[in-house]
Structure 1
């Protein structure tokens, strides 16, 4: 399933401003209506650089890289890291531990970090990595993030891209922009409407070619998608994807193909799409129906067939 923006812009009575670029290992696209160009590309790139210096594991001088050093016991978090880490703790609790930012040692062990692997990790290596996994081994003390073990390392990629979309959206709103669509790496947030007064429209592909794709109407919401077709590899005839179970130390193996999440913020949607990918269909729907302002669309496999399931309020966003 692919989330794409379709038909987002009618003939504009107000000028339309468009910015595209690369960030966080992917691309971004920002479009907004406003009488004048009040947010320019350099402002967007500056905001992205600040976030990278906070939470990019690929930058040697970032705060998260410093925190992940075995020599570091604690770090004073900046505002961005505080927002993301506090949300991570909240989602960890709601998901009963399925969402866990300390899985980095396991992510690296299974070849989804900076180095690929040629053989599956041995159980002894998995057990060793598990000793340094678990958000109970982290503490927040005011603005400080503290490790209970020196070998603890964190990876915020499962939530930071969605947060970045929210930051860029907030930047637009601070300049009085009320109608916009922000997209980064497939994570989307929209507010207001097109110039014809209609909500922005996001196309969703369904798993069966015999079924017509449908269109979501977003007025002031975010939508993200996670799937087992992303960040995968095949070894010894087995398809391995990057969602790691922090309790077992192994990649999640279930029949979920992809999950699309609608939420009020892109950070919430981004975090929870990882959670729903790791749950059974029934448990995922139960959680989604219990969460406020959260709807999901699940594609799952039964035998050779792909099927789909929806949370109770999902169809409220589907264009008739």
Structure 2
């Protein structure tokens, strides 16, 4: 991970004091899932959540939407021999939201972009070759939400070559599912992190909010941002995550569905604060496609989101943030 965009949470101030009638001690669950790590911390008088329960949630979601599980529901849908599938609850929730984000982002958030991701070497098979213009044009014909139709809980193809990738919001959705599960156990103070995507709920027994740290450009000279979150999610997308060098240029895994080509602009990373991790996940991807000022203008029109952007201008790293972002800095 690049030095200038590290998100972490700070585990301090977790001791309960005698002034609280019910002693709540910290409980931590850690592990690996979805090709990354996860970390959950919650406060309760007893250990009410087990690691096996958390791992079971990951397993069910992966069996639904993981491109790396050969028999997952999404891979069944992506088979050219299949015309459609009946969705389970998890995949239905994510696909339905994807249609909404497609409209909100003017087609930039497009789950049918998977054939282009594979063509450019960002799919599960990895890099094979740099595509030609004719190959790009050919594959682009299979991309677009008009190629699929969601009717109740049935997802149907209108082109047998269409295939989908839900990774753009599936991890954020997973954070939200885990958060809802923890709430269902009566826990009112916790933080969930999966691969750097975070949701913080409630306050600690000490009365403190959860603290999130974001490293900034030239972090040795500039102190990182430290944010306080309560009932909010925070996620980051960046061109540093997955990239290759093509003809001397660094190309990222953000593929423009309108051109069929990797995104090439001066935005390096976008951090979003939102009510849910799935929404933050969708918006941090979309804002990567926009020029920094346009991205901030978009966020300013939303009353429940904030953004922090790192971009390059004249070989210099710069920052831009929405007007309400400062409200989270302590």
Give the corresponding residue for 2:178: 168
Q: Deviations over 1:124-177 (max 9, x none)?
A: 110111011001211110111111111110000010000000000000000000
Question: 2:256–2:262: 8 Å Cα contact kept in structure 1?
Answer: yes
Asked if residue 213 in structure 1 is aligned to residue 217 in structure 2, the reply is: no
Q: Deviations over 1:12-67 (max 9, x none)?
A: 45211111111110010001000111110011011111101110011111110000
Q: List 4+ stretches of structure 1 deviating above 4 A.
A: none
Give the corresponding residue for 2:292: 281
Matched residue SS, 2:52: helix
Distance in 2, matches of 1:315 and 1:62, equals 42
Give the corresponding residue for 1:22: 32
Q: Deviations over 1:78-119 (max 9, x none)?
A: 111111111111111111011000010000011111233354
Give the corresponding residue for 2:283: 272
Distance in 2, matches of 1:273 and 1:82, equals 22
Return the TM-score normalized by structure 2. 0.94
Candidates 2, 10, 30, aligned match of 1:6: 10
Q: Deviations over 1:248-272 (max 9, x none)?
A: 0000010001010000000001111
Question: 1:10–1:196: 8 Å Cα contact kept in structure 2?
Answer: yes
Distance in 1, matches of 2:34 and 2:174, equals 10
Return the TM-score normalized by structure 1. 0.97
Distance in 2, matches of 1:118 and 1:107, equals 12
Matched residue SS, 2:256: coil
Q: Gapped runs of 5+ residues in structure 2? A: 17-22
RMSD after superposition: 1.1
Q: Gapped runs of 5+ residues in structure 1? A: none
Give the corresponding residue for 2:131: 121
Matched residue SS, 1:189: strand
Candidates 184, 203, 225, aligned match of 2:194: 184
Decide which moves more: 259-268 or 107-116.
107-116
Distance in 2, matches of 1:22 and 1:248, equals 36
